[in-house]
Amino acid sequence: MFSLQQLFGKGDKFFDLLEAAAQEAHESVRLTNELIKSPRDTQKLDDLVLARRKEKKISDQISGELVRTFVTGLEREDIEALSRTIYKIPKTAEKLAERFLLATPHLQGAEFARQAEMMTKATDVVLTMVRHLRKMDDLEEIKELNDKLQYVEGEADKLMNELLRDLYSGKFDALRAIVIRDLYELIEKVVDRCRDVGNVIMNIVLKNS
């Protein structure tokens, strides 16, 4: 059975494509955060849709290249799993942005800065981890990055509980509480998608170390 290093080789197109996909996922979250800061700038949503479409095109290209490249079944599943999991980040970010624009009339005074920071931290780590796939022998560094990603996800969960506690305090009317909770849950899902990418990368590295 070939290892990923044997399959890819330094500078191989699969590394390039996976890194490009992670970059578009990172850009999608950046644009989502910009939209949260300036919801009237609807151009950000157009840019976000474009970033997600670019990532989808990259994902499709990876699938096409796999058809034309000899790999063992397990390695094929690993590559496809990583590509698919990365794509879920911009897909969820786009859904969050669309929902945020719809909910804007109900969000006066609501604060999303800390959640946005969590999303940024998570996608920063994801992008770094994907780039480190070229260094398959650097297990400890990738493990440290994954631990950092798991920590961010845990902190996001704690923040979610804190925000929900405030939301359920009774000071919000029912509709406003439902709308804000929906956005909180989508933000949490973006971070969860990043965690999933980290888990896939960690499994790949462990199998090929």
Residue ranges of domains in the chain = 9-207
List all residues 6 or more positions away from 175 whose beta carbon is below 8 Å from its beta carbon.
106
User: Cα separations (Å) of 59 from 19, 74, 80, 82?
Assistant: 11, 18, 9, 10
Q: Which 3-state string (H, E, C) describes the chain?
A: CCCHHHHHCCCCHHHHHHHHHHHHHHHHHHHHHHHHHCCCCCHHHHHHHHHHHHHHHHHHHHHHHHHCCCCCHHHHHHHHHHHHHHHHHHHHHHHHHHHHHHHHHHCCCCCCHHHHHHHHHHHHHHHHHHHHHHCCCCHHHHHHHHHHHHHHHHHHHHHHHHHHHHHCCCCCCHHHHHHHHHHHHHHHHHHHHHHHHHHHHHHHHHHCC
Model pTM score: 0.86
What is 9-207's CATH superfamily? Phosphate transport system protein phou homolog 2; domain 2 (1.20.58.220)
List all residues 6 or more positions away from 208 whose beta carbon is below 8 Å from its beta carbon.
3, 4, 5, 136
pLDDT in tens, 116-143: 999 999 999 999 999 988 777 678 889 9
Give the pLDDT of residue 39: 76
Give the pLDDT of residue 137: 66
Give the pLDDT of residue 71: 56
Low-confidence ranges of the chain (pLDDT < 70): 1-11, 70-74, 137
Give the pLDDT of residue 6: 47
